[in-house]
Amino acid sequence: MKPATEDFSAVPPFEIRSGAEQRVPFIFNSPHSGRFYPERFLAMAKLDSKAIRRSEDCYVDELFGGAVALGAPMLAANFPRAYLDVNREPWELDPRMFAEPVPSYCNIRSARVAGGLGTVPKLVGEGLEIYSGRLPLAEAVTRIETIYKPYHGTLKRLLTRTHAVFGFAALIDCHSMPASIRVGDSGFRPDFIVGDRFGTSASPALTETAISLLSAMGYCVAHNKPYAGGFITEHYGRPARHLHALQIEVNRGLYMNEHTFQKSSGFDALADDLTHFCADLMAIPDHHLVDLPLAAE
Domain boundaries of the chain, sorted by first residue: 4-78+143-290
- Distance, in Å, from the CA atom of 131 to the CA atom of 42, rounded to the nearest integer, reads 10
Under 8 Å between Cβ of 34 and 80: yes
Query: In CATH, what number does 4-78+143-290 get?
Result: 3.40.630.40
**Would the pLDDT of 1 be above 60?**
no
Beta-ladder partners of 170: 26, 244
Residue 295: pLDDT band by 50, 70, 90 thresholds? very low
The amino acid sitting at 227 is Y
**Would the pLDDT of 291 be above 90?**
no
What are the pLDDT digits (tens) for 222-232? 999 999 999 99
**Residue range 193-201: average pLDDT?**
97
- Distance, in Å, from the CA atom of 116 to the CA atom of 166, rounded to the nearest integer, reads 39
**Would the pLDDT of 293 be above 90?**
no
Give the 3-state secondary structure of residue 176. strand
State the pLDDT at residue 296. 40
What are the pLDDT digits (tens) for 110-160? 999 999 999 999 999 889 999 999 999 999 999 999 999 999 999 999 999
Residue 297: pLDDT band by 50, 70, 90 thresholds? very low
Q: Which of 198, 190, 252 is nearest to 228 (CA)?
A: 198
CA angle, corner 260, sides to 185 and 32, nearest 5? 70
Under 8 Å between Cβ of 73 and 40: no
**Residue range 88-112: average pLDDT?**
97
Which DSSP string do the residues of 105-159 spell out, in sequence order? TS--SSHHHHTT-SSS-SEEGGGEESBSSPBPHHHHHHHIIIIIHHHHHHHHHHH
Buried/exposed code over 153-177 (b: 16+ C-beta within 10 A; e: otherwise)? eebeebbeebbeebebbbbbbbbbb
Under 8 Å between Cβ of 118 and 85: yes
Beta-ladder partners of 26: 170
Mean pLDDT (the chain) is 95
Pairing, β 74-77 against β 14-17 = antiparallel
Give the 3-state secondary structure of residue 209. helix
- Distance, in Å, from the CA atom of 135 to the CA atom of 95, rounded to the nearest integer, reads 10
**Would the pLDDT of 186 be above 80?**
no
